[in-house]
Amino acid sequence: MRRVGKPVFFIVLLLIVAVVALSFAGISTQYGDIKTTYIKGANDIRWGIDIRGGVDATFSPGDGYQATRTEMEAAEAVIKERLVSKNITDYEVYTDYDKNRIIVRFPWKEGETDFNPEQAIKELGETARLTFREGMEYDQTTGAPSGITAETIILEGRDVARASVGTTQQSSTSAQEVVVQLELNSEGAVKFEEATRRLAGSGVISIWMDEIMISYPTVQSVITGGLASISGGFDVKTAKSLADKINAGALPFKLEVDNYNSISPTLGENAKDAMVLAGLIAFAVIALFMVGFYRLPGLIAMIGLAGQVALIIASITGFFAPFSSFTLTLPGIAGIILSIGTGVDANVITSERIKEELRAGKTLDGAINSGCKRAFTAILDGNITIIIVAVILMGAFGPPRTFFGTLLRPFFFMFGPSTAGTIYSFGYTLLMGVIFNFIMSIYCTRMMIKSISGFPALRNKWLYGGEKA
């Protein structure tokens, strides 16, 4: 066997200790009320609504209406607008165009005591009220239209046939400018021509979704024929966002709630604490078993498992500040615990193979080398199987626009994103856990065993599962 240098054990050990410390504690500085995070720790984990508490609802067009993709995009836009208007920004909205449904999830706000989830769900599904109003006067406290803007409604949603993204050529530079194109019906065209004739040159026609002003273009000239465009430094994304909101005001259907669940913060927090405690107890019991049964390889295996858990936590928090955190749910915690089981299994297989080689009469170095080689195939097969399962879970039950969702869509088109926040989290933590199991169990722990076996005081075969000399 090719010897591994004695310092390798300490180098790998220090790296694992550093990863554990950083992934759980993180690094940040506090200056007054300003906190700057450099490396995220366990406290920066973003908890799912089944832990933090929140609402999970599925909407679909009422009366069995088969909405088009454009109409579903418009409905999604108005739901997002209403969530923001309620100061709910930490939300998840997924649209399943194949099944004509929108899945909405949002957590409870910190310290929330009087929030009514049923009322919030009802308001999210109400038909949007789109209005074009004269001027842009609004109440400084509520943001609702006031004065002449509240009194003068020029157009309503029923007057708009459609809104879309287009381009027009600027007269001054001949460059193409992104605009929102409006097409009005005959009644709306008459109303709009009269208003633009009166306001042309300096007047403003503001656009409102419910009681929220979403745009306030200046009227530059009289608009006839029911075709108009809104300009204002748009890019394609912002123009589409405005077009979707305008289209939402002209939707011919109301969103109905197929089902919804509300989870209290207390229930979710208790469930999280119970699972974390169960994980810690399981880790302690496994440590006693591994050290007692496999001795030195068992101790090194537990060091590797600690590193595996730390790397999983790092993959959830985003670790470095610029990267966003992954939402961790209760099934996600279960995925972490299960992946720890795969790590234990890998180390058990390796330790057993080393014991078998020692009982067959091989030298310590030969037994370690041969045992690691014999264990590799079994570990690889088992972990590859789990990776395939995790990828399928993420692709079939995750948000449709993720990498795995796009990759597996031809095979799992019948599944929607109805469980994206739960099973997707389980698949993610399981996948990360197995990948880090490869790093720790197949590489790091073996390097540590081969390194530590070079110390004369630690070359007794009994320490590695052999007979006592």
> How confident is the model at residue 110, as a pLDDT?
53
- Dihedral angle sign, alpha carbons of residues 320, 326, 327, 330: negative
Q: How far apart are CA 177 and CA 170, in angstroms?
A: 6
Q: Which residue has the higher pLDDT, 460 or 118?
A: 460
| Percent share of the chain, pLDDT over 90 | 25
* Amino acid code (one letter) for 7: P
Q: What is the pLDDT of residues 58-115, one digit of tens each?
A: 888 887 888 888 888 888 887 887 777 666 766 778 888 888 888 888 877 555 556 6
Q: Assign 311 a pLDDT band (cuts: 50, 70, 90).
A: very high
- pTM value is 0.67
Residue 138: both structure tokens together: 């609004």
* Amino acid code (one letter) for 80: K
Can you say how many angstroms the Cα of residue 114 is from the centroid of all Cα atoms in its chain?
A: 27
> How confident is the model at residue 197, as a pLDDT?
92
> How confident is the model at residue 1, as a pLDDT?
47
User: At residue 6, does pLDDT exceed 50?
Assistant: yes
**Domain 130-250 in the same topology as domain 54-127+256-263:** no
Residue 38: both structure tokens together: 């450099």
- Which architecture does CATH list for 130-250? 2-Layer Sandwich (3.30)
Q: Is the separation of the CB atoms in 392 and 367 below 8 Å? A: no
Domain range 54-127+256-263, CATH class: alpha beta
Provide the 3-class DSSP secondary structure of residue 163. strand
User: At residue 272, does pLDDT exceed 80?
Assistant: no
In terms of DSSP bridges, do strands 327-328 and 212-215 run parallel, antiparallel, or are they unpaired? unpaired
Q: How far apart are CA 376 and CA 374, in angstroms?
A: 6
Q: Is the separation of the CB atoms in 77 and 241 below 8 Å? A: yes
β-sheet bridge partners, residue 215: 207
Query: Structural domain boundaries of the chain?
Result: 7-42+264-464, 54-127+256-263, 130-250
Mean pLDDT along residues 334-362: 90
User: Helices H, strands E: what count in the chain?
Assistant: 14, 15
Q: What is the pLDDT of residues 363-407, one digit of tens each?
A: 988 999 998 888 888 888 888 999 998 888 877 766 655 565 566
Residue 27, phi then psi, degrees to nearest 5: -135, 125
Q: How far apart are CA 125 and CA 259, in angstroms?
A: 12
Q: How far apart are CA 357 and CA 367, in angstroms?
A: 5
User: At residue 413, does pLDDT exceed 60?
Assistant: no
> How confident is the model at residue 238, as a pLDDT?
85
User: At residue 191, does pLDDT exceed 90?
Assistant: yes
Q: Which residue has the higher pLDDT, 283 or 175?
A: 283
Q: Is 77 exposed, middle or buried (0-12, 13-18, 19+ CB in 10 A)?
A: buried
Report the alpha-carbon angle 133-137-141, nearest 5. 125
- Residue in the structure block whose two tokens are 């949007």: 128
Residue 401: both structure tokens together: 């626009």
User: At residue 309, does pLDDT exceed 90?
Assistant: yes
Find out if CATH 1.20.1640.10 is the number for domain 7-42+264-464.
yes
> How confident is the model at residue 300, as a pLDDT?
94
> How confident is the model at residue 412, as a pLDDT?
56
- Dihedral angle sign, alpha carbons of residues 159, 162, 165, 171: negative
Q: How far apart are CA 177 and CA 440, in angstroms?
A: 54
